[in-house]
A and B are shown apart, each in its own frame.
Chain A
Amino acid sequence: MEKQRICIQSVSQDVIIGKVFNDLFNIIKQSQQNNNNVVWDFADTFYLHPFLLFPLAVYRYQNNIKCINIRENTNIQKYLELVCFENLFDIKDNQSLEDKLSEYYDKSYIPISSFSINENLLKQLQTPIQTIIERQCRAEKISTQLSYFIGELIDNIREHSSADKGFIFSQYLQSEKCLNICIADNGITVLGSYYKTNKYLDIIHNNPAIALSQALNGLSTKSKERGFGLSSSKKMLVQGLKGAFFVMSGNAFYRYDLKLSDKEQIIPLNEEYYWKGTVVLIKIPVPVPQEFNFYNYIE
C-alpha cells in the first residue's frame, strides 16, 4: 500500500505563531489518520520555525516517519542535517557531551537531542547545555532564569512523566532577538500522571485540558508544598521576561503569550491530534528587561 504523502510547508520566523501550531497539528492529524503510514515531503520547504521543527523531529523519531526530498532540497538539506533532524544527537554522558557540543559554541543552536531518563545523566545534562546556550545568545543576567527553566522542566520529566526518553533543542533567533528552548518527553502525559498517582481525579474528570490547567496552576500529585515548577516558570517567563510559554500534552494545548492575549488559554484537542508525552516550548526575549527581578517569581 502506497504511503500517504504529506507536504511540509515552510513556516518562517516572521509568521504569526498561530500558523506554526496550526501547521503542526495538521501534520500530526494527517499522519495519525493514516496510522503514521506516511512520508513527509520536504521538496518545498526552505525554513521551519523552531517550534515546528522540534515537535516534528520528535514525532518523526517516535513514529519512524520516512522523510523524502531532503537531500534534493538545497534550501533545507544542510540546515536539517546540522540540527540533527533525522538523526537526533544522542546524549550519552557528560564527557562526550561537552566535547561534542563544543563545536556548537559559535552556532546559534544546539542540535535536536535525545537523552535517557536516568538520574546520573540528567544531573550532568544541564551545565554543558546551558553554558552553550548562554554563550550563543550572549545575554547578560540570563543565567539564573535559564537554570530555573531548564532545571524545573527536566526535574518534572524525572518526577512525573514516567518517560524513558527526553528531548531538547534550542535556537537563538538573532532577527527576533529571542531564545527558543524546546524540551519534551515520551511519557504518560499530564493527565496520565494524575491517573498514575490516583490524585484529584474528582477534579480532573478524565479531561486532559483540565489536567493540564491544574498542573500549570500548581496542583501537584505529590504534596501541597509542591507544584511550583510549571506555575512559576510560566509566570516568570511571560509576565517577567515578556516571553511566551506553550505546552502540548496528550490532547491538550496550552498557550500563554501576551502578544496573543493577556489570558492563559488551553485548547482541547481531539484524538487525531494526540501528542504522546509532553512538550514544552519557551520563547525568551533577549536581553532581559531592565526591570526584571528573578526573586519576584519564585514565590
Chain B
Amino acid sequence: MDTLNIKSVLGNNIILREDARNIIHYIKENNIKVLDFQGVDFVSRSFADEIYSYTKNNAISIINTNEVIDKMFRAVQHTHNNGRQIINNIEILPVNSDEELSKLLLAY
C-alpha cells in the first residue's frame, strides 16, 4: 500500500500542524507515495504548509482534494515560490495614564 487515506487517520476537519508532522513521519516509515484526501472537508493553512514543505521535494502525490483544500495547497505553494511581503498597517497608540487609556477605549 503506497496510498494513505488521510480521513481514516485524521478525520474530516484537520487543523494542527503537528498532525502534518505525524503524517510526514508515517510517510517516511511506510514508503507512502500518495496522500488521498477523499472525504476530508477542510485542512488548515498550517497543515497544508507543513505537508507541502515536505511533498514538494519528495515526489508525493496529493489526490482527491476538494476546492477548499486544493486552494489552500495552492496558496502555500504560491508563498513558497514567491515569498511574501509583510506590510505593517498597525498603529501603536501612546498611552501615558489611566485616564488616557479610558479615553481611548471609550472613544468608540
Q: Which residues of A contact B (CB under 8 A)?
A: 16-19, 21-22, 25, 29, 119, 122-123, 126-127, 130, 143-144, 147-148, 150-152, 154-155, 158-159, 209-210, 213, 216-219, 224-229, 232, 254, 257, 259-261, 263-269, 273, 294-295, 298-299
Contacts and interface: CB of A to CB of B under 8 A. Distances in A.
B72 interface: yes
A19 B106 contact: yes
Interface of B: 10-19, 41-42, 44-47, 49, 53, 68, 71-72, 75-76, 78-80, 83-84, 86-95, 98, 101-102, 104-108
20 contacts: A16-B106, A17-B108, A18-B104, A18-B106, A18-B107, A29-B98, A123-B16, A143-B41, A147-B15, A150-B15, A154-B16, A155-B16, A213-B92, A216-B90, A217-B89, A218-B86, A226-B49, A266-B90, A269-B95, A298-B45
Given A18-B106, A126-B13, A295-B71, 9 more contacts: A16-B108, A150-B15, A152-B45, A154-B15, A155-B46, A225-B79, A266-B93, A267-B101, A299-B75
A227 B95 CA distance: 28
Contacts of A226: 46, 49
Given A18-B105, A25-B105, A298-B75, A123 B86 contact: no
Contacts of B93: 265-268
A130 to B, nearest CB: 7
A266 B45 contact: no
Contact of A155 (B44, B68, B106): B44
A268 B15 contact: no
Contacts of B102: 22
A151 to B, nearest CB: 3
A126 B15 contact: yes
A209 B88 CA distance: 13
Contacts of B92: 209-210, 213, 265-268
A45 to B, nearest CB: 20
A294 B68 CA distance: 9
Nearest to B13: A127
B38 to A, nearest CB: 17
Contacts of B16: 119, 122-123, 154-155, 158
B52 to A, nearest CB: 9
Nearest to B15: A151
B79 A254 contact: no
Contacts of A158: 16-18
A152 B13 CA distance: 12
Contact of A148 (B44, B53, B87, B89): B44
A264 B90 contact: yes
Contact of B13 (A130, A155, A232, A266): A130
Residue from A216, A232, A298, A299 whose CB has the most chain B CB atoms within 10 Å: A298
A148 B87 CA distance: 22
Nearest to A20: B105
Residue from A152, A155, A216 whose CB has the most chain B CB atoms within 10 Å: A155
B106 A299 contact: no
A204 to B, nearest CB: 12
A25 B53 CA distance: 42
Contacts of B71: 295, 298
